[in-house]
Structure 1
Amino acid sequence: SDIISSINIRKFIQYHFKKKAFTTISLWPVKNVEEYGVVDLQPDGRILKFVEKPAREEAPSNLINAGAYCQEIEVLDYIKEGEFVSMEMEIFPKIIEEGKPFYGFTFDGFWIDVGRHASYIEVTKILLRKKSLRYLIGESTIYGTLKESTVGDECIIGENSILKACIIYNRTKIGKNVCMENCIVADNCEIGDGVILKNVVIGEGEKIDKNCKIENKKIWTKPIPEGYPRKQIGNPLST
């Protein structure tokens, strides 16, 4: 899953049975409703419909699908064997249309969607702080400075390089005098000397030439595999 939350699973399941629901989903309030699908929720907790990315003034609520589902086994009857389906876009609307009891469960605490680059970095920083760690390193060689960052295995970080709020996967080489902030770098990448990166996401196996300065980019020059289900990253941006 790409969700981290404080939902109490026991209470979630108890609520599902109490309501005699066919499907129950977790709900979370957000300010930026225009970036999500929100629900039309009745006072008794029943969901009447989903509204995908509404204008703020047209949103029926500020509650979004928070990613946890409790469902009756019969939900499998809605899914054809061997097919990829979207529960949110295909299955849930059918269940509601057929009038089956579909409920929403709200909870307190926290909810973070780590499927977004900024939130992925933010939750990493939160977890480091909770563990009282300034950084987390695998079996790698670090000559530079790390701040609120994680580095996987078999990486090399060059002299005088500074990484702030970065996530570095495995087998990546970062040169000397590099400055990186709010970046995610996948496996087997090479970043040359003197590079400056800010708010950059780099896909597997990419190479950044020395002395480049790049901000606010996704770098992945490889094609998305044929038949990849529900590709959501759009066209790769390369620099």
Structure 2
Amino acid sequence: GLTRWTAHDVHPPLYFWSLLAWVRLAGESEYAARFLSALWGVLTVAAVYPLGVRLGGRRVGLLAALCLAIARFHVWWSQEMRMYVLATLAATLTLYSVPNPLEYGVVIIDAEGRIRQFLEKPSWGEVFSDTVNTGIYVLEPKVLDYIPSGKVVDFSQDVFPQLLANNDNLFGFVSSGYWCDVGNIAEYMRANADVLLGRVNVGPIGTEISPGVFVEGDGVEIAPDAQIYGPVFLGEGVKIKGGAIVRGPTVLRDLVIVDTRAQVDRAVIWRNTYLGERSEVRGAIVCRQCSIRARAMVFEGAVIGDQTGVGEGAMIQPGVKIWPDKEIEAGAVIRNSLIWGSQGRRTLFSRWGVSGLVNIDMTPEFAARFATAYGSTLSKGASVVVNRDYHRSPRMIKRAIISGLPSVGINALDVKSQPIPVVRYITRHSNAVGGIHVRLSPYDARVVDIKLLDKDGLDLDRKTERRIENLYFREDVRRVFLDEVGLILEQPQLASSYSADFVKALGNSTSVDGSRTVIVDYAHSPAAATLGPILSRLHWRVVALNADDD
């Protein structure tokens, strides 16, 4: 019969058995005979999808299934009355159901559950089972007798082989439940994806606000034009700005900010991390308190350690590991893992002074530390004028600067909020040796600039900037004794003489005709306190709009 005939053929008999059963059911027409292979081909495409999802997520599964569906040879053999497509289907199902045992200890268990053979992390030539050791043990106290005092011992390599050699009872339980060893990056990512995809029951993971989008806690903000494709988990206080795209399976922990048009795809982002405008994170892990700045890219399998900054436009290549507390320069392309040392900028100053994103780069901690470095370049007991514009962010940074200066013996002369020309004047005409002006950048409302002035009210020279940078990066700042701590003096009145000197400097070149009327929109800025008295001294009639400080 058929079995005897196929025994002498190089092809296995399963296809011929199934074909025989099929033609008896559907007839012997060419269409019916070819239909069985077409069915195997369609099922193979369907089987490839979950395999791809397991390995790389839904997009990988869809792409793999699509590629197979349009593959020339797959389409060809799906029309042939041959066993090749069935063999492909069987191989696909086998790959999906059998795990890779190379990373684990493999065991053979008899019918009574007794372990008969055990081998830790074998090579392919040594694999004798697909049952692996999960590292979960229930031990009797006498097992501890196999562990000598003062010696490093491994259970799987030292203790268990001794138990087997002595014919002691060593049993194994084959569990059918979910198990995942998160000891490597790929498995850690898979575990997160499995939770989001519902492959493991961990209970409720949050409130489902839309299909596949789960939220935990309050304060989540999602822009109307942001795009989120589940499954995605959003922790407390997560903010997703306009035009951003988040594709699952992705985890965004508490206080993560995804800025305008940033893209996150199959990633795990730990708490308090910032993803800058148009940045991209794909298939990667970004740990706590990191800053991925504008247009930076982090690719598959990369890991960014805690408190690491990735500069604007930088690229982290696939598989790269960045250890914590690193700073990646803007535009850098990192192809190898960074473990020791720190790769980052060695400069603080730019064309606009010291600049940074508010509460990302420009934090109160940074501002206080920077102030101590600047103050350490000055003589103890010297005074520095400190000023800000009228926005809230510069006020926060200014207060941090004021707290840092006295710690190195510098007096802080707080002139509140004045226009920068007034600050230059005050610095030059007071006993101050320098000035600090904190402003919101006129080019980017998310950025704060710190501008330093010399004793003449002019921009600080590059030589002094380098001295400050050296002290800052070496953390070689001065600390003074209790009785040498600087003072914090509020002296907004120092700006009062500016108006008189301004008019005096004009001389006779400006009319004082009282018939002139000028309309001024102060836009709630501090200029009203300075320009108003100047116009009054010129005897101009002023119609002031929005003159109150905002």
TM-score (norm 1): 0.69
For residues 40-119 of structure 1, the aligned pairs below 5 Å read 40-80=108-148, 83-119=151-187
C-alpha deviations, 1:198-218, integer Å up to 9, x for none? 233222123333323345x54
- Superposed CA offset, 1:87-139 (max 9, x none): 11122122222221101111213321110111111222222344534232322
CA contact (8 A) 1:128 1:148 kept: no
**Residue pair 1:30, 1:64 contacting (<8 A) in 2 also:** no
1:205 alignment partner AA: D
Partner of 1:203: 323
State percent identity of aligned pairs.
27
Please tell me whether the aligned partners of residues 272 and 289 of structure 2 are also in contact (alpha carbons under 8 angstroms): yes
Stretches of structure 2 that go unaligned for 5 or more consecutive residues are 1-96, 199-204, 206-211, 214-231, 233-250, 342-550
Could you say if the C-alpha distance between residues 165 and 220 of structure 1 is closer, same or farther in structure 2, counting changes exceeding 3 Å?
same
How far does residue 84 in structure 1 lie from its aligned partner after superposition? Answer: 4.0
Residue 257 of structure 2 aligns with which residue? 141
Equivalent positions of 1:157-196 (< 5 A) are 157-182=275-300, 183-196=302-315
2:333 to 213, 222, 233: 213
| Residue of 232, 247, 271 corresponding to 1:153 | 271
* C-alpha contact 1:33 1:59 (8 A) present in aligned 2: yes
Question: How many residues are aligned here?
Answer: 193
Runs of 4+ displaced beyond 6 Å: none
Cα distance between partner residues in 1 of 2:155 and 2:289: 36
Q: What's the CA shift for 1:187? A: 0.8
> What's the CA shift string for 1:21-56, capped at 9, x where partnerless?
xxxxxxxx9543344331233332211232234343
- What residue identity is the alignment partner of 2:314? V
Counterpart residue type for residue 163 of structure 2: I
The residue type paired with residue 142 of structure 1 is V
Q: Write the distance in 2 (CA, Å) between the matches of 1:84 and 1:174.
A: 41
Highest relative contact order (Cα 8 Å, sep 6+), 1 or 2? 1
Instruction: Quote the Cα distance in structure 2 between the aligned partners of 1:62 and 1:125.
Output: 23
Letter of the 1:206 partner, please give it.
K
Cα-Cα RMSD: 2.6
Greater C-alpha radius of gyration: 2
The equivalent of 1:235 in structure 2 is none
Tell me, yes or no, if the aligned pair for 1:165 and 1:181 is still in contact at 8 Å: yes
**Aligned counterpart, 1:22:** none
Per-residue deviation, 1:58:
3.9
How far apart, in 2, do the equivalents of 1:46 and 1:207 lie?
53
CA distance in 2, matches of 1:58, 1:170: 41
Distance 1:196 1:61, change over 3 A: same
Corresponding position: 1:121 with 2:189: yes
2:108·2:118 contact (CA, 8 Å) conserved in 1? yes
| One-letter amino acid of the counterpart of residue 152, structure 1 | W
**Residue pair 1:39, 1:48 contacting (<8 A) in 2 also:** yes
Greater percentage in helix: 2
Q: Distance in 2 between matches of 1:129 and 1:108?
A: 19
Distance 1:193 1:33, change over 3 A: same
Give the C-alpha shift of residue 176 in structure 1: 0.9
Letter in 2 for 1:188: Q
Determine if contact 1:162/1:179 at 8 Å carries over to the other structure: yes
Contact 1:188 1:206 in 2 (8 A): yes
TM-score by length of 2: 0.32
